[in-house]
Structure 1
């Protein structure tokens, strides 16, 4: 669909912004949004817009968030819906660049209240964002064209195998740290397409995302997971650093409650697959 066009998604809003629109939004935010956040609250939680919990995400990133028809669905979406329900709000989703999400630019500009984008908690990102308690453990997978021998990043480097990565992600950081100059793609879809069109021989991506890709028989027929990279990553939701402690507390509360009452397990199995026992205790 054209960039900049809003789409209603089951009570949510998706908006892809052009650079011009983004620049205008950032400029207006500096003068208008901060004032609105200071006056619009729900139970002490600061909101960009009254009556709704506005979420910044980056599409597509199934099974955490993706478009299905005119709806935005996924594990992250359902978890943030729990937060919104507890606050008596409706969730609205805005599609943004992952770069402006992870740097805190969107939250600081008043574009959204919370960032939910399958985002790994890292020391660098914690400098710009206030993270919730971790809600998901993730490692990296190496998805290769069948016949390509790439069990590890070491194999890829020594064999001079063409590796693709998604820009601004921990997967790309991991590849670079291993001394591999990977081909960078803007989105996970673009990364997968790079593999499909033989721009690269292997891609590095979060394991659950790769597993989602392989549910498509066309992908499963051509590609296979040849290795995993144990990175010990943990995903977190984020709010504006120092700017919305009550919302952060509400998110933590919703995650804890979901793990205690079985909702988390239900959603995990719906979107991810069988849930390891240790996932509930964390």
Structure 2
């Protein structure tokens, strides 16, 4: 499994983005005009909607700030635009449905969003920045480790996620939860027998008496989302993704939150 910003693809896609974006970075004016035509929900601020807890991509630290890999990437976009970053916590369903973007709640949605055809019909995605598979979280010592072993078991899934879609397509008995934290709470209390979610977010729970028993390859990739037709902002995001892939910033962000450097092999 590779968790790697696809640098080659981004560089190939960057020519148009770099040509179109002559650089809000370094502007002293905090307004849409200062970002080369990128209109923002709140002038001078790039607003991102996210749905923690989804560590290491978005979660609340000890000070109450929402941090994580996604937030660091969004902050890089804001810095290139020359604006501040504001984070809004919203339900995952209003994120993945495009509602937060359509209602002007935020400029970007960033919440470990897998790029799917269904979501692409609702909003526009950036170039992918992370490869993800599904994982199976179970109590330590459990004999559940395959799809077959989950027959007649209750599997906790996060509402409106690709993990839910995968489990449903596999014919598993699913129980829906609003977020990952509630999934794990249900596993702790025995409400469910196992939890399915993106493999990269399950690691932090290993020290809590659980284990990741299996990885289910799905070929999923994460992207940042913007409102349909918001080409100017999309180009800025892709330009930032190219920059951080090339200057080492992405590797630093990845290593900080994932614990290892991206696998380029």
TM-score by length of 2: 0.85
Number of the residue aligned with 1:230: 217
Q: Give the C-alpha shift of residue 252 in structure 1.
A: 0.5
Structure with more contact order per residue of length (Cα contacts < 8 Å, sep ≥ 6): 2
For residues 212-247 of structure 1, give each alpha carbon's deviation from its aligned partner in whole angstroms, at most 9, with x where no partner exists.
222xx3x1xx211111110111000010011x1111
Number of the residue aligned with 1:66: 59
- Secondary structure at the counterpart of residue 53 of structure 1: strand
Q: Give the C-alpha shift of residue 145 in structure 1.
A: 1.2
- Secondary structure at the counterpart of residue 167 of structure 2: helix
Tell whether the 8 Å contact from 2:40 to 2:107 is kept in structure 1 after alignment: yes
Q: Gaps (5+ residues) in structure 2?
A: 1-30
Matches within 5 A, 1:204-243: 204-214=196-206, 217=207, 219=208, 222-242=209-229
Q: Does 1:247 align with 2:233?
A: yes
TM-score by length of 1: 0.80
- Secondary structure at the counterpart of residue 229 of structure 1: strand
Tell whether the 8 Å contact from 2:153 to 2:173 is kept in structure 1 after alignment: no
Q: Does 1:202 align with 2:194?
A: yes
Number of the residue aligned with 1:129: 123
How large is the Cα RMSD of the aligned pairs?
Answer: 1.4
Q: After TM superposition, where is structure 1 displaced by more than 6 Å over at least 4 residues in a row? A: none
- Secondary structure at the counterpart of residue 143 of structure 2: coil
Quick one: distance in 2 between partners of 1:122 and 1:130? 11
- Residue 165 of structure 1, aligned match among 154, 157, 169: 157
Tell whether the 8 Å contact from 2:255 to 2:262 is kept in structure 1 after alignment: no
Matches within 5 A, 1:142-161: 142-157=136-151, 160-161=152-153
- Residue 104 of structure 2, aligned match among 92, 104, 110: 110
Q: Give the C-alpha shift of residue 40 in structure 1.
A: 4.4
Tell whether the 8 Å contact from 2:251 to 2:262 is kept in structure 1 after alignment: no
- Secondary structure at the counterpart of residue 45 of structure 1: coil
For residues 24-71 of structure 1, give each alpha carbon's deviation from its aligned partner in whole angstroms, at most 9, with x where no partner exists.
xxxxxxxxxxxxxxx944321110011100111112111101111221
Matches within 5 A, 1:83-122: 83-122=77-116
Figure out how many residues of one structure are paired with residues of the other and give that number: 233
Number of the residue aligned with 1:187: 179
